[in-house]
């Protein structure tokens, strides 16, 4: 039986680019069956443009308007929950799909719950910027191998490299995973859950033109060394709380639902303990050293954070305490 293919397309004032995105969906070598459009209080004709392009097309269109806006994660949660497909592709409003994207992702989804690909970075006018997304994210060869056909959980415990605009997910899996908990973005959440059972796969080819136009809600913005150092050392209590919330939420979710094996659940518990220890470190740099040393000697900086990069941040960061 042919699988039903849904697209969860989320928009917010997307009129400048939405037509090109929808036209690229219509031009796929494997036709999609349904588009669920989640619109976050657009003040422009985004929805009307989509409706006009799909008028008469053999694609079911479901429009869900949100006013006030839900935000990225909640909008995708709502759109995913409203899909009916065996497979759901996640879609941003401002990208362009390569013609064989659906076909390639469907093949890659065989035997897993989530498949994602690389993407080609383009400017606001769609001109290639000469870079691929995973290169811009500085994904190492080891990380790429882990995502492609290895231990993806080990990669994602350290940092997220799953970009929603490149993803296809099993419908039942995705709908069971929403709503996305606080502190998570939809692609990070789906990625970590799929990685639990070794059911995540990376296709290394670029199948999407990922538009960078300065107004992206989430993007691959270039960051200079000085800017990066300033960001890493600046106080950021919200980020500290978010990291702890994410780790504890993932561990509790896996434990409550019996996801993954005992070893994977233990790794999530370890990540939660690591983030808890980091969040409780004192404001003074010298006073943090005992905790930093314990986390370093235990290997948890390497397994649950970005190793020396995170250790250096914890040592140098100006920490705020009420």
pLDDT single digits (tens) 184-212 = 999 999 999 999 989 999 999 999 999 99
Q: How many CB atoms lie within 10 A of CB 211?
A: 27
Does the structure show a pLDDT above 60 at 223?
no
Q: Give the CA count within 13 Å in the CB-facing half-sphere of 2.
A: 8
Higher-scoring residue by pLDDT: 128, 239: 128
Distances (CA, A) of 315 to 158, 283, 318: 18, 10, 9
Q: How far is the C-alpha of 143 from the C-alpha of 115, rounded, in Å?
A: 15
Does the structure show a pLDDT above 50 at 301?
yes
Residue 215's pLDDT is what?
56
What secondary structure does DSSP assign to 3-72, as a single string?
PPEEEEEEESS-HHHHHHHHHHHHT-SS--SEEEEEEE--SSSHHHHHHHHHTTSSSEEEEEEESS---H
Instruction: Read off the pTM.
Output: 0.91
Q: So where are the chain's domains?
A: 5-211, 225-316
The DSSP symbol for 166 reads G
Does the structure show a pLDDT above 80 at 230?
no
pLDDT single digits (tens) 66-96 = 999 999 999 999 999 999 999 999 999 999 9
| Cβ(234)–Cβ(320) below 8 Å | no
Nearest by Cα to 72 from 61, 63, 80: 80
| Cβ(25)–Cβ(106) below 8 Å | no
Q: How far is the C-alpha of 248 from the C-alpha of 269, rounded, in Å?
A: 8
Q: How far is the C-alpha of 249 from the C-alpha of 276, rounded, in Å?
A: 12
Assign domain 5-211 to a CATH class: alpha beta
């Amino acid at each position: 039986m042919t699988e039903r293919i849904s697209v969860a397309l989320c928009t917010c004032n997307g009129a400048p680019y939405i037509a090109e995105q929808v036209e690229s969906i219509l031009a796929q070598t494997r036709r999609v069956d349904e588009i669920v459009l989640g619109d976050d209080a657009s003040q422009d004709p985004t929805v009307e443009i989509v409706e006009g392009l799909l008028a008469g097309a053999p694609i079911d269109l479901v429009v869900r308007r949100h006013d006030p806006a839900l935000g990225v994660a909640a909008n995708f949660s709502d759109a995913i929950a409203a899909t009916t497909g065996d497979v759901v592709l996640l879609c941003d409003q401002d990208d362009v799909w390569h013609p064989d994207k659906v076909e390639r992702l469907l093949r890659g989804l065989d035997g897993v719950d989530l498949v994602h690909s690389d993407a080609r970075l383009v400017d606001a006018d769609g001109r290639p910027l000469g870079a691929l997304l995973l290169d811009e994210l500085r994904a190492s060869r080891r990380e790429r191998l882990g995502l492609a056909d290895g231990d993806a959980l080990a990669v994602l415990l350290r940092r997220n490299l799953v970009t929603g605009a490149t993803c296809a997910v099993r419908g039942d899996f995705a709908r069971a995973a929403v709503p996305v908990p606080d502190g998570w973005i939809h692609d990070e959440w789906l990625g970590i859950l799929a990685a639990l059972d070794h059911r995540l796969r990376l296709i290394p080819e670029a199948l999407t033109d990922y538009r960078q136009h300065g107004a992206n809600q989430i993007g691959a913005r270039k960051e200079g060394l000085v800017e990066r150092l300033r960001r890493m050392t600046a106080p950021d209590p919200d980020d500290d709380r978010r990291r702890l919330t994410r780790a504890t939420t993932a561990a509790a979710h896996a434990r409550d639902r019996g996801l993954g094996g005992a070893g994977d659940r233990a790794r999530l518990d370890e990540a939660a303990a690591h983030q808890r220890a980091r969040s409780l470190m004192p404001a003074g740099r010298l006073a943090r050293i005992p905790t930093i040393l314990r986390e370093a000697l235990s290997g948890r900086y390497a397994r649950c954070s970005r190793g020396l990069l995170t250790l250096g941040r914890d040592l140098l960061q100006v920490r705020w305490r009420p």
